[in-house]
Amino acid sequence: MFAAALPHSRPKLSGAVVATRRTTNPLFLASPSSLNLVSFSRVLRKSDGLVSSRSCSSKRGAHDLFEDFSVLLPDTPWDAKNTWTTFAAYFFILHIPLSFGGLSIVAQVLHQSTLDPLTTVASTALLQTTEFLGALALLHFTVKPQHAISSFFVEKLFTEQRSLVKASIIGAGLLIALVLLTSALADEFIVSRDVTSPVLKEILSDSSQSKAVCFVLYCFIAPALEETIYRGYLLTSLASKMKWWNAVIISSCVFSAAHFSVENSLQLFIIGCILGSVYCWTGNLASSIVIHSVYNAIILQSTIMS
């Protein structure tokens, strides 16, 4: 993976202008009627009650709209009590050994101290595919007896509750804008440096075969793997037992930490939040996969051009 709410509105209260007129009635001036005072107080109470009712109604409306943002259902194929146990099994048995130690094993098997760019990217693609298949197998064996993982992901990929195209366009645009903004701010106030992997640059400049495998890896294999795990499994499971926005934040923190990249941690967190929010809004995993793929493709292309 590359590093690269709704506004709360308060009803506006307009000041009430009370017009008084002069009278020459001495009884009115000397002894105001208690009935007039009671009536006036009733009017004030009714007015305050109306304003309070409208204010509460507006707050409830905004709250309901925020709550209805997510279409994820509380019923998931996995037991919510075992969410972190299952994720830990994936993380320590599959993710770390294959993503961070796999190339060393390949080099030892091939009896090479260093791998050439084509072998590096081809081996990474094979390792990521193995990790993806292993993750699917893990999710299959940890699913509830009355559920089927295949039907769950088929529904998440091909059932469209809200506009997939609209969500993908808006999400991709917002993602790119925020990543560019954070990059500019980091360069301006922290330190300006190139965080693109030198290995990636070498792969993209090596040959057309290396470049093609690299695009397949980062635009198809990696998005499918990461969206399945971090949105399809982790976010779905967390959202079944907490507010959707809390689930998005927690899953995004895990997503960022799993890349072990301090320099890109903020951008990875932002990427996770946008992908998670889009997934919650559409209920469709294809939307986050598309945005993830488009973002990676733009990063690859900009790396080639630079």
Segment 94-106, tens digit of pLDDT? 999 999 999 999 9
Whether the pLDDT of residue 71 is over 80: the answer is yes
Provide the pLDDT confidence category of residue 155 given band limits of 50, 70 and 90: confident
Q: Examine residue 54 and state whether it is found in any structural domain, yes or no.
A: no
Q: What average pLDDT does range 83-87 have in this prediction?
A: 97
Looking at the predicted structure, is the pLDDT value of residue 123 above 90? yes
The pLDDT of residue 179:
85
Question: Does any domain span residue 148?
Answer: yes
| CA 190 – CA 100 distance, rounded (Å) | 28
Q: Is 159 left (phi over 0), alpha (psi -120 to 50) or beta?
A: beta
Q: Are 121 and 217 in contact (CB under 8 A)?
A: yes
Stretch 9-29: mean pLDDT = 40
Q: Judge whether 70 lies within some domain.
A: no
Number of domains the chain is built from: 1
Residue at 186 is within a domain: yes
pLDDT tens track for 234-272 = 999 999 999 999 999 999 999 999 999 988 899 999 999
User: 278 is in which domain, residue-wise?
Assistant: 80-305
**What's the pLDDT at 62?**
54
Q: Quick one: pLDDT at residue 45?
A: 55
Q: Is residue 48 part of a domain?
A: no
Rounded (10°) angle between helices 164-189 and 265-282 = 160
Residue 22 forms part of a structural domain? no
Return the structure tokens found at 297: 């493709």
Position 214 in a domain: yes
Cα dihedral angle (292, 298, 300, 303), rounded to 10 degrees? -140
Sorting pLDDT into bands at 50, 70 and 90, what band is 33? very low
The pLDDT tens digits of the residues spanning 221-237 come to 999 999 999 999 999 99
Q: Kindly write down the DSSP assignment for every residue of 173-242, as one continuous string.
A: HHHHHHHHHHHHHHHHHT-----S-HHHHHHHTT-HHHHHHHHHIIIIIHHHHHIIIIIIIIIHHHHTTS
Phi, psi dihedrals of residue 78, rounded to the nearest 5°: -115, 150
Band (pLDDT 50/70/90 cuts) for residue 9 is very low
pLDDT reported for residue 285: 94
In a domain, 290, yes or no: yes
pLDDT of residue 11: 42
pLDDT, average across residues 6-12: 40
